[in-house]
Chains A and B, each alone.
Chain A
């Protein structure tokens, strides 16, 4: 199975800062990569699919890039509501797999 590795595990940042989260796949997943945001007690929310496409309603401060095995999610200016856990997810190959998550916390 494809192993997804996210780094760092935890990121301490201040509101207004720019943050970049990384996700690496153990083998190529082309652009079949999604990012989700999860807040405590809530279901995950889709932020990015196809490595770089934002669904309708997702703010433009969220952007995704990459292909193959290296991906990143950038939040251009962190808002208070963005403190959460972020997961990457490959859907190129069965079994589908998730990264372990990056927690973005207030500095």
Chain B
């Protein structure tokens, strides 16, 4: 069965960086992209960006351009998201999510989600 298992909670000071991992299993990793979505306390869902499992190409929301890096390791079937220059308003639960359709399908809904990683930024 498909599983996305994320790394544990992190606490960082403002200005630092954080790297969150997402271990995928139960499907062909290179056939599907992974997106990162975050949720601040009591708030809605915010798409941060995605990485293609096939090509490694990335797309980011403009507000994170230059501050986020997304990578995927096909040997370990693990995706990583690094966010730099952290601010207090980056405090959120960060989710990885698998695209519902394969490469080129156009299906970029999210059929499986990780359990979430709480990142707390102290100022």
Which residues on A are within 8 Å of B, measured CB to CB? 1, 32, 34, 36, 38, 43-46, 49-50, 55, 87, 89, 91, 94-101
Contacts and interface: CB of A to CB of B under 8 A. Distances in A.
A46 B44 CA distance: 15
Given A96-B50, A97-B47, A98-B45, A46 B59 contact: no
B95 interface: yes
Most buried by A among B44, B50, B107, B109: B109
Contact of A43 (B47, B62, B106, B114): B114
A41 to B, nearest CB: 9
A101 to B, nearest CB: 5
Contacts of B10: none
B46 interface: yes
A54 to B, nearest CB: 12
B45 to A, nearest CB: 4
Contact of B35 (A55, A96, A99, A100): A96
A95 B59 CA distance: 8
Contacts of B11: none
Interface in B90-112: 95, 97, 100, 106-111
Nearest to A33: B109
6 contacts: A34-B109, A36-B110, A44-B45, A49-B107, A95-B60, A101-B45
Nearest to B106: A32
B44 A100 contact: yes
B16 interface: no
A51 to B, nearest CB: 10
Given A46-B100, A96-B35, A96-B50, A91 B116 contact: no
A94 to B, nearest CB: 5
